[in-house]
Amino acid sequence: MDTAKLSMEELRSQLLSLLGTLQANREKVPLDILKTRYKKGYDDLCQRLRCCASEYARQLTLSGIRIHRDYLEEGVSRVERLIKTSGILKELSCDIYKTWDMDAFEHHCSQFRTTLLTEMDHFYREYPGIYITKECLENPDTLPLLYSPVNHCVFINDTWIPLEDYQKSLSTNNKNQTPDA
């Protein structure tokens, strides 16, 4: 099963279906029998669960996080360190294999994402730059924007905005402005 090509909704649906199958099997058949007599089928189910849950967790926690390739090694190291120190893998495993609880799984992913975004914000700020807008050049009281080459974003209203989106919004705003008559 190639879970990387599934949408979030499809992954969630697939994961719920697999969890339902696991729960039904575990409630009807003792675990030691599942692991011996039904080993091939049970192992296959667990493998499909692992793949689906991993991809769903990856999409829930990492979507929208940007790291330029020049900073990728350090970024990946930070993410891996946070995964190890947070205990998230144990929590997610418990949610899937012991309690069969999708709500808890999604809640733990959300909590981890919040922690990860805080870590990424610190990472982005370690390599500060400035983005000088046209307004900065025209008006000395206008401050430049905080820019990070790590994510190629500017920081506006407590949010990292991709530079290309910011520039696109400026060009759209300029096109929508009509000259004075």
Q: What is the pLDDT of residues 99-112, one digit of tens each?
A: 999 999 999 999 99
Q: 160 near 124, Cβ under 8 Å?
A: yes
Statement to judge: residues 46 and 114 lie in one domain: yes
Total structural domains in the chain?
2
Q: Which residues contact 92 (CB under 8 A, 6 or more apart)?
A: 53, 57, 105, 108, 109
User: Following CA atoms 102, 97, 91, 103 in sequence, which dihedral angle do they give, to the nearest 10 degrees?
Assistant: 10
Quick check: is 153 in a domain? yes
Statement to judge: residues 114 and 70 lie in one domain: yes
Quick check: is 180 in a domain? no
Quick check: is 181 in a domain? no
> Which of 110, 125, 140 lies at the terminal end of a domain, its last residue?
125
Statement to judge: residues 143 and 156 lie in one domain: yes
Statement to judge: residues 89 and 140 lie in one domain: no
Statement to judge: residues 117 and 139 lie in one domain: no
Q: Which residue range(s) make up the domain with 161?
A: 129-175
pTM of the model: 0.85
Q: pLDDT tens-digit profile of 55-90?
A: 999 999 999 999 999 999 999 999 999 999 999 999
